[in-house]
Structure 1
């Protein structure tokens, strides 16, 4: 029995509306960004009043923080569900594929905006910080293991590999290819993964 099915009808409706709010926030953030997004945008997208929206989230900062927490939770859950027999580099590739598909389907970049305001806001959100620390620790371990086996360049500092990996999750090339190349999503993802792990040389 799911957690949602154990709730009262009123609580279920509240949770479903909250999920719709976060979906709308993800969509608006992916097109407008944090600075241009307003609470009116979100209320309008969901079809509720702004006072109703504030019953769920007291500010734009709280709303965006929760949307990003949901994204990070999705990454953590996806990583946990991968086949334990996969090699470290295969797990890194699978997670990057997941992140790229989330973006191509209208989700947000894996990393938040480089805006100092957004960074400061998120660093004050302890729920977000704790999840980032957890995910980062898991990815650091995978990078170290892949370097040890030689699947990733052991001569590179692990931070260079890790932050290059993060950058691929928010690489604008994915959107450019989606908009201008007319490639199907599967091809875009395959090419982006090849560039990420094999570079541009033949």
Structure 2
């Protein structure tokens, strides 16, 4: 085996472990929240030592920041991958469906809305804020197009629709329905999307 291929294998192994760490951190964050999560929790979930964990992420804040950046990257990729044949409203519905399914699977912690410390920490994270602004621009364009096409209420300020849309992605009703109703995840997603875009009328 050449020196180059050895380095390539080590790089791949390092990246795979890093992804496993981010997977574990996302699950722990979803179940415990930022304040109760420890680096020991994450290391134990991955099956590595804490010193090995610190080779990838120097602090809890850095780890959480990277986990949230990865989630935003996933959302941006979803929007980019949507068919151009879909209307603006259909694209918004498709992204909400993706977010709800990821969330029902325990993979979408909504930390900024629940922890002032995390919100402040993330706002100081340039990579995170770059992703937030990019996703916000993409969704704002979709909302404006939906209003122009008559698919979304043009009498409402764009920000009201946009931030109401964000709120639907972290609506606590999702957890209550998953825990206490007898509905399948498919039905929960279907009904939450209907409520978000058609209301209760």
User: TM-score band (shorter)?
Assistant: over 0.9
* In structure 1, distance between residues paired with 2:113 and 2:16: 27
Q: What does residue 90 of structure 1 align with?
A: 90
Q: What does residue 189 of structure 1 align with?
A: 189
- Say whether the 8 Å CA contact 1:92–1:142 is kept in structure 2: yes
Q: What does residue 8 of structure 1 align with?
A: 8
Q: CA RMSD in A?
A: 1.5
TM-score, normalising length from structure 2?
Answer: 0.95
- Say whether the 8 Å CA contact 1:99–1:110 is kept in structure 2: no
* In structure 1, distance between residues paired with 2:117 and 2:111: 14
TM-score, normalising length from structure 1?
Answer: 0.94
Taking a change above 3 Å as real, the CA distance of residues 109 and 151 of structure 1, as seen in their structure-2 partners, is farther
- Say whether the 8 Å CA contact 2:27–2:106 is kept in structure 1: yes
Deviates more, 1:108-117 or 1:32-41: 108-117
Q: What does residue 104 of structure 2 align with?
A: 104
* In structure 1, distance between residues paired with 2:110 and 2:139: 13
- Say whether the 8 Å CA contact 1:43–1:49 is kept in structure 2: yes
* 4+ aligned runs moved over 2 Å, structure 1: 109-114
- Say whether the 8 Å CA contact 1:28–1:41 is kept in structure 2: yes
| Counterpart mapping for 1:35-50 below 5 A | 35-50=35-50
Q: What does residue 32 of structure 2 align with?
A: 32
Runs of 5+ unmatched residues, structure 2: none
Matched positions, count: 197
Residue 117 of structure 1: CA displacement?
A: 0.6
Q: What does residue 63 of structure 2 align with?
A: 63
